[in-house]
Amino acid sequence: MTSAKKPPLELRLRVLSAIDYAPGNSIRARIKSVSERVFKDQQTDCVYQFTWRTISTWLYRYKKRGITTLDNKTRSDKNSYRKIQVNELAEAISDIIPTLSKNKTGVIPKISLYRKLMQKNYFQRSQLSQTSFYRMLRENDLLDCETTKKLRQSFCMQFANELWQADTMYGPSIKQSDGSWKKTFLIAFIDDASRVITHGDFFYNDNTKNMIDAFRTALFKRGKPDRLYFDNGSNYRSKEILQAASLSEIGYLTLSCAG
């Protein structure tokens, strides 16, 4: 009873989530139990049933590298920028340029811009080498204000709750009663269309539990988004988040850290 159409990512995540609740005393038994079930794509009404080998392969890939390796097809971004998207770099450049001074010839040195991006932790050198940075500037004319503005808007959604993005950053250190200082972390969600912070909160630990607490509060305050777009950090691709997205029928995307 397998549909001819390729199953969407959301459906594959629902299949993996079903393994945790399937009957059986071993992972192999639970996978076989899931392979006997039928799954329906609510968007297209297509019906799917998967072999235990297929489900095992998905589970192995997810545990090894996360959600971004659930599919073994040729990358759609082959021969393009894989680690940093052009619109992401355009956004960062727009933030940084006002803080830099021009040289005697009236331009901002590219090396100064690159160093500032690294210093402010917009990107890691493993994500964006100096050579790649120069190439992206040249090929996309990212120092032109109008070009940068268009690229920044290229990923924007039209309506609120179409897409939420989330990230974690270091917060201030708080002095404790014993005189020691404890680091804090800010976990925040932003609506892509309206740029409203659906929720942000400081925690003493950057872990899955606190990330889920922040996500739950954002849902209570702003309702359910159609899609989520997170980085590939362990908290954002945890089993709990994938299950919540799958059961709530929320589309889920991650920014791959793979080369």
Residue-wise pLDDT for 57-114, tens only, equals 888 877 776 654 455 444 444 444 445 777 778 878 887 888 888 888 888 888 999 9
Give residue-wise pLDDT tens across range 25-44: 888 899 999 999 999 887 78
Query: Which region, left, alpha or beta, applies to residue 167 given φ > 0 means left and ψ of -120 to 50 means alpha?
Result: beta
pLDDT of amino acid 94: 80
Please say whether the structural domain 163-255 has been given the CATH code 3.50.50.60. no
Which candidate, 209, 246, 251, places its Cα nearest to that of 228? 251
pLDDT of amino acid 80: 44
Which candidate, 46, 71, 48, places its Cα nearest to that of 58? 71
Evaluate if residue 238 carries a pLDDT over 50: yes
Pairwise CA distance, residues 185 & 73, whole Å: 36
Pairwise CA distance, residues 188 & 195, whole Å: 12
Mean of the per-residue pLDDT values for the chain?
78
Query: Structure pTM?
Result: 0.41
pLDDT of amino acid 150: 53
Pair of tokens at residue 207: 């872990």
Percent of the chain with pLDDT over 70: 77
Pairwise CA distance, residues 84 & 92, whole Å: 11
Percent of the chain with pLDDT over 90: 17
Where in the chain are the domains?
9-69, 86-153, 163-255
Pairwise CA distance, residues 151 & 136, whole Å: 12
162 in helix, strand or coil? Answer: coil
pLDDT of amino acid 81: 45
Give the dihedral sign, CA 20/22/26/31. Answer: negative
Mean per-residue pLDDT, 19-28: 88
pLDDT of amino acid 203: 95
Mean per-residue pLDDT, 181-206: 91
